[in-house]
């Protein structure tokens, strides 16, 4: 899996994120407010988030190992006393395949370790299979909300679920168990005498 780091979003990131907000797949899968906003309004909105809205919203830049930007993450609906928030992502088109899952993992790890968030609310529009397959989305969701969002001229159904600290620990243990089982099968196959 590619290595992704997380850093604070800065004014230098605004042009790249603005271009992402205007990208058609991003708009269809999250929000299309960039369609009705001009560049000045989008820039002002992002500058407000950086300078004055840290209590209610934070933005982060996701980078690959050499420091190039692969996308962005942001948290909203922040409940500092309750240690909960909603986490959103936007991965640049050229990095979606190789870096999508790594970006999600890095953002989750960052907000848990650095911001002490204990429960993360996930929302994915039902048609959006860029990071999660339809089957996985159906399996993970706890709430299905029809007519949740209006994007690119259509009402969209959203799926919601939470991830707690316990969920993260359980998934890490399951992943470690799978890796151990695979390693055991490989060692067993390598140690077996080969037929002559």
Mean pLDDT computed over 34-52 = 87
Query: Please, which pLDDT band fits residue 67 given cuts at 50, 70 and 90?
Result: very high
Mean pLDDT of 65-92: 93
Architecture of domain 4-190: 3-Layer(aba) Sandwich (3.40)
Question: What 3 state SS string does 48-89 have?
Answer: HHHHHCCCCCEEEEEEECCCCEEEEEEEEEEECCCCEEEEEE
Mean pLDDT of 159-188: 81
Domain boundaries, the chain: 4-190
Total count of residues recorded for the chain: 196
Q: What is the pLDDT of residue 44?
A: 94
Read off the pTM: 0.78
pLDDT of residue 196: 61
CA atoms within 13 A on the CB side of 174: 6
């Amino acid at each position: 899996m590619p290595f992704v780091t997380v850093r604070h979003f800065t004014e230098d990131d605004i042009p790249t994120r603005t271009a992402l907000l205007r990208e058609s797949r991003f708009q269809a899968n999250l929000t299309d407010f960039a369609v009705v906003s001009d560049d000045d309004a989008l820039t002002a909105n992002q500058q407000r988030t950086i300078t004055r809205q840290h209590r209610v919203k934070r933005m982060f830049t996701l980078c690959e190992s050499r420091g190039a930007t692969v996308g962005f993450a942001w948290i909203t609906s922040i409940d500092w006393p309750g240690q909960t928030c909603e986490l959103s992502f936007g991965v640049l088109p050229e990095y979606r395949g190789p870096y999508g899952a790594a970006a999600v993992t890095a953002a989750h790890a960052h907000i848990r370790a650095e911001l002490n968030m204990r429960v993360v609310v996930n929302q994915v529009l039902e048609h959006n299979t860029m990071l999660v397959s339809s089957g996985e989305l159906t399996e993970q969701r706890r709430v299905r909300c029809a007519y949740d969002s209006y994007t690119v001229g259509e009402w969209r159904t959203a799926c919601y679920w939470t991830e707690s600290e316990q969920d993260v620990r359980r998934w890490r243990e399951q992943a470690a168990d799978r890796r151990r089982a695979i390693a055991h099968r490989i060692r067993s196959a390598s140690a077996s005498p080969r037929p002559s």
